[in-house]
């Protein structure tokens, strides 16, 4: 007998990354202290802003898309 798949789950919606454990916990605590948002909310906002061009990657840092 195999695993039963959840009905309706057809698209992958997970963003996976590898960061140092200490950096992850520092980042999570900064997010909670500064804007009371969850880590998922911040990642979603980051992805939307990156797609829209509001922020861009420049070398090893991020800059605003306004020129």
Domain ranges of the chain: 32-64
62 vs 27: CA distance, rounded Å: 16
**Could you tell me the pTM of the whole model?**
0.58
Q: What is the pLDDT of residue 28?
A: 82
Q: What is the pLDDT of residue 67?
A: 54
Q: What is the pLDDT of residue 40?
A: 81
Q: Give first-to-last CA distance, the chain, whole Å.
A: 58
Mean pLDDT of 7-23: 64
pLDDT tens profile 25-65: 888 888 888 878 888 888 888 889 999 989 988 888 888 87
Residue with token string 């020129």: 67
Q: CA-based angle 39:57:18, to the nearest 5?
A: 45
Q: What is the pLDDT of residue 62?
A: 86
The Cβ of residue 24 has, within 10 Å, a number of other Cβ atoms equal to 13
> From residue 47, how far is each of 22, 44, 50 by CA, in Å?
23, 5, 5
């Amino acid at each position: 007998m195999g695993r039963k798949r959840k009905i309706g789950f057809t698209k992958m919606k997970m963003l996976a990354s590898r960061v140092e454990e200490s950096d992850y916990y520092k980042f999570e605590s900064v997010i909670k202290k500064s804007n009371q948002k969850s880590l998922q909310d911040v990642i979603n906002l980051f992805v939307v802003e990156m797609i829209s061009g509001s922020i861009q990657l420049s070398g090893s840092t991020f800059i605003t898309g306004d020129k």
